[in-house]
Amino acid sequence: ESTNRRSFLQVLTYSEYLFLVLWEIFMICYGGEIIYLNSQRSGEALLRNPWYLHSREIRSDFLIFLANAQRAVVLTGAKFHPLKLEKFRQIITTSFSFFVLLQNMDQR
């Protein structure tokens, strides 16, 4: 009974750790997705605004903002991978593949 209880607690601990790691990765990737989508829409929102009615200084600031809004802001990991929900799916898929591979190697 003691070994069953210990193995159950071990599985519970590993499950909790797995959930927390996945949740942390999901939050980062979801935040990156939100930043990316909203940065794409910021230029459109400014164009819908009657910015041309403002003073010359403000119009020049708006034009600079519009020029910078052409490039979407992308949150990256190690300056290589854009952190979006697609990357989260890839991380989960790759991790599960490694898990299955290691489990098969352990059974042999």
Residues 52 and 90 in one domain: no
Residues 18 and 67 in one domain: yes
Number of folded domains that form the chain: 2
User: For residues 85 and 67, what is the distance between their CA atoms, to the nearest angstrom?
Assistant: 27
Residues 24 and 60 in one domain: yes
List the chain pLDDT tens, one digit each, 108 residues: 677 777 888 888 988 998 999 999 999 999 999 999 999 898 888 888 887 888 999 889 988 988 888 888 888 888 888 889 998 899 899 988 988 898 888 887
User: For residues 10 and 4, what is the distance between their CA atoms, to the nearest angstrom?
Assistant: 10
Element (H, E) at 99: helix 85-107
- For 100, the domain range is 77-107
Residue type, 47: L
